[in-house]
């Protein structure tokens, strides 16, 4: 009798072979993007959040335990994943640059599937809307992008696309958006149905699309972009009621790392854009939230995850009911992490672990058990992975590597490290190299990896050992005990710079 794992591995290999061998009946792809979802999930070892449907999906998926985004903010990380190129090659480092202004001939992931006979369609937030045209990158989709949804009576559309507080909606029914600054609060718990909020209404549409494309006799790539748990943390009251605030724990290390460079930090500017947060401190003052306020924010995030978990459950149920689960690859990812008071930071926008580590799970048809893959992976790896599963040839020069070996249950490293980056003032860029144990960071002025590196441009460095210091409490860059580690990681980083520059020169 085969050991359980070997028996599963054999089954997994057969299932995977079946997926990639289907020329006449290519696998569908359900591509679920979740905004600001960090690995606060049971299968990542975080048991405080109630997410039974995501747990159900993970039970028949490969869970990438050490996955990292390329840049911890919406537009750049999505542009990177959807093109298979790192931010220095897309040149999208902010929330205003259009992808095709910089790389007009790039072939996006859904565009590649479209060119290879798939119906491609999107709802919600797939690209960040600020980095594409008004049709959500028209070249990517064979079906018109859906951005408006039907809301139940008597609720109607949410105020500012987020809020269902009836008193606020009545007060501001005819107000201009610019006059509603006081409305924009960081949390809301309203006793409303799931589809009174945008994600619930959008998923209703997505279910109809699954029915339509699933019966059309043509493979589909359906991208469903869920906006929560992005700020503001709003969710129907029943999901807030799942949690006891007395049991919510706060970040244990709420100050900068010892010997950490100032450039590594920010003032939580996105978070301060909400009226209840803005009132707590001036812009030039540290944002030291009370324990009660921190708990409220974390509670809202938990509730938002449980809310979108229920919505994802509806998508999974439709796949099962229709039989589409037998021939549909499911990819679920959260575009970056989030700081909840660690280092006294809130929101994303850093090169630290809590901002850059992200959930990524892939389920192939026929998979029966969960695989946990523990080696470093990155979002640029998603593009070549899905292309290989569908037997589609990729464009030359992608920055990622296919994760198909991991989907087969092979536990050897596909790559040695992941790279994340983040820009700061005065044209600095921080590059973080994350191995299984360490994070090495260089903050460099007037440099991008598409140009030649000069070590004199390095302004600051960081080094963290996650086996001994998982909270990043001390920057070890000048610790004599880590001299050899620093030198080894520096060599890896500089070799990476050179490889990236060489790609551009070809």
Run of H or E including 110: helix 109-115
Mean of pLDDT values over 101-128: 98
Mean pLDDT of 457-476: 98
Lowest mean pLDDT among 43-47, 99-103, 281-285, 348-352: 281-285
Whole-number Å distance between alpha carbons of 149 and 134: 17
Pair 35, 337: CB distance under 8 Å: no
Token pair for residue 387?
Answer: 């292309």
Bigger pLDDT: 146 or 473?
473
Residues 6+ apart with CB under 8 A from 29: 113, 118, 220, 221, 222, 328, 329, 330, 331, 386, 390
Alpha carbon distances (Å) from 243 to 55, 229, 230, 301, 392: 18, 16, 19, 11, 45
What distance in Å separates the CA atoms of residue 1 and residue 8, rounded to the nearest whole number?
A: 12
CA-based Rg of the chain, rounded to a whole angstrom? 22
Would strands 233-236 and 187-190 be described as parallel, antiparallel, or unpaired?
parallel
Question: Among candidates 117, 129, 159, 135, which has minimal Cα distance to 22?
Answer: 117
Paired tokens of 377 = 């992976």
Q: How confident is the model at residue 64 (pLDDT cuts 50, 70, 90)?
A: very high
> Running DSSP on this structure, what letter comes out for residue 399?
S
* 177 against 66, higher pLDDT: 66
Mind listing the pLDDT tens digit for each residue in 179-235?
A: 887 889 999 999 999 999 999 999 999 999 999 999 998 999 999 999 999 999 999
pLDDT in tens, 327-373: 999 999 999 999 999 999 999 999 999 999 999 999 999 999 999 99
List of residues 6+ apart from 468 with CB closer than 8 A: none
Question: What pTM does this model have?
Answer: 0.94
With vertex at residue 41, the alpha carbon angle to CA 194 and CA 433, rounded to the nearest 5 degrees, is: 125
**Residue the block writes with tokens 């850093």:** 350
Assess contact for 188 and 231: CB atoms under 8 A. Answer: no
Write down the pLDDT at residue 24.
55
Alpha-carbon span 268 to 390, nearest angstrom = 41
Residue 308 to residue 130: CA distance in whole angstroms: 23
Given a cut of 70, is residue 377 above it in pLDDT?
A: yes
Residue 362: partners with Cβ closer than 8 Å, 6 or more residues away: 61, 62, 64, 329, 330, 331, 332, 385, 403, 407
Q: What is the model's pLDDT at position 25?
A: 76
E strand map for 308-392: 328-334, 339-340, 346-347, 360-363, 371-378
Q: For residue 16, what pLDDT band results from cuts at 50, 70 and 90?
A: low
> What's the CA gap between 479 and 336, in Å, rounded?
30
| Contact present, 44 and 72 (Cβ < 8 Å) | no
By three-state DSSP, how is residue 496 classified?
A: helix
Give the ranges where 364-422 is alpha helix by DSSP (H). Answer: 382-389, 404-407
Quote the pLDDT of residue 505.
79
- Exposure of 101 by Cβ count < 10 A (0-12 exposed, 13-18 middle, 19+ buried)? exposed
For residues 383-405, give the mean pLDDT.
97
Question: Do β-strands 187-190 and 328-334 pair in parallel, antiparallel, or remain unpaired?
Answer: unpaired
All structural domains of the chain, each given as residue ranges with its CATH number in brackets, are 4-415 (3.40.720.10), 425-506 (3.30.1120)
Residue 20 confidence (pLDDT) above 50: no
Of the candidates 233, 229, 341, 220, the residue with the CA atom closest to the CA atom of residue 287:
341
Quick one: average pLDDT of 434-447?
98
Q: What is the mean pLDDT of residues 64-84?
A: 98
- Most distant CA pair in the chain: distance in Å? 71
Q: Can you read off the two tokens belonging to residue 278? A: 């803005």
DSSP for 238-289 reads HHHTT--GGGPPPPS--SPPBT--GGG----HHHHTSHHHHTTS-TTS----
Write down the mean pLDDT value for the chain: 94
Q: Cis omega before residue 154 (within 30°)?
A: yes
| HSE (side-chain half, CA atoms, 13 Å) at 56 | 13
pLDDT, average across residues 432-442: 98
Residues contacting residue 339 through CB under 8 Å, at least 6 positions apart? 268, 345, 346, 347, 348, 350, 352, 354, 355
> Do 164 and 196 meet the contact criterion of CB atoms below 8 Å apart?
yes
Summarize the confidence of residues 150-166 as an average pLDDT.
95
Going from the C-alpha of 265 to that of each of 211, 276, 349, 443, 481, the distances in angstroms are 46, 22, 9, 12, 25
């Amino acid at each position: 009798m085969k050991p359980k794992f070997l028996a599963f591995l054999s089954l997994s290999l057969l299932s995977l072979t079946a997926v990639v061998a289907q020329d006449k009946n290519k696998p569908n792809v359900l591509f679920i993007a979740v905004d600001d979802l960090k690995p606060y999930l049971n299968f990542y070892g975080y048991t405080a959040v109630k997410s039974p449907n995501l747990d159900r999906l993970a039970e028949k998926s490969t869970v990438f335990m050490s996955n990292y985004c390329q840049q911890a903010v919406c537009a750049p990380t999505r542009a990177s994943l959807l093109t298979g190129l790192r931010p220095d090659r897309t040149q999208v480092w902010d929330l205003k640059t259009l992808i095709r202004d910089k790389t007009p001939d790039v072939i996006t992931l859904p565009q590649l599937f479209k060119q290879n006979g798939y119906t491609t369609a999107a709802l919600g937030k797939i690209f960040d809307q600020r980095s594409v045209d008004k049709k959500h990158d028209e070249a990517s989709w064979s079906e018109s992008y859906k951005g408006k949804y039907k809301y139940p009576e008597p609720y109607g559309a949410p105020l500012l696309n987020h809020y269902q507080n009836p008193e606020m909606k009545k007060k501001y029914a005819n107000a201009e958006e610019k006059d509603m600054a006081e409305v924009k609060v960081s949390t809301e718990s309203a006793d409303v149905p799931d589809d009174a909020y945008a994600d619930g209404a959008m998923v209703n549409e997505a279910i109809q699309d699954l029915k339509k494309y699933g019966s059309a006799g043509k493979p589909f790539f359906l991208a469903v972009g869920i906006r929560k748990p992005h700020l503001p943390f709003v969710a129907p009251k029943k999901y807030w009621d799942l949690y006891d605030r007395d049991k919510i724990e706060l970040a244990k290390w709420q100050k900068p790392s010892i010997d950490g460079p100032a450039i590594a930090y920010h003032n939580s500017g996105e978070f301060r854009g909400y009226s209840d947060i803005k009132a707590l401190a001036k812009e030039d003052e540290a944002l030291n939230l009370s324990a009660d306020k921190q708990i409220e924010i974390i509670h809202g995030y938990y509730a938002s995850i449980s809310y979108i978990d229920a919505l994802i459950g509806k998508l999974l149920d439709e796949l099962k009911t229709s039989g589409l689960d037998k021939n549909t690859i499911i990819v679920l990812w959260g575009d970056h992490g989030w700081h909840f008071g660690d280092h006294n930071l809130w929101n994303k926008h850093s090169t630290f672990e809590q901002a850059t580590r992200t959930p990524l799970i892939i389920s192939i048809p026929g998979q029966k058990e969960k695989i946990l893959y523990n080696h470093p992976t990155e979002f640029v790896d998603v593009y070549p992975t899905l292309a290989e599963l569908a037997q589609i040839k990729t464009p030359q020069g992608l920055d990622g590597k296919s994760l198909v070996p991991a989907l087969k249950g092979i536990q050897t490293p596909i790559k040695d490290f992941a790279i994340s980056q983040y820009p700061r003032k005065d044209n600095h860029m921080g590059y973080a190299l994350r191995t299984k144990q360490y994070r090495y960071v260089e903050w460099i002025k007037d440099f991008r990896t598409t140009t030649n590196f000069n070590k004199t441009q390095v302004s600051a460095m960081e080094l963290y050992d996650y086996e001994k210091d998982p909270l990043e409490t001390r920057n070890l860059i000048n610790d004599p005990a880590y001299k050899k580690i620093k030198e080894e990681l520096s060599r890896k980083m500089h070799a990476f710079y050179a490889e990236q520059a060489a790609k551009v020169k070809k």
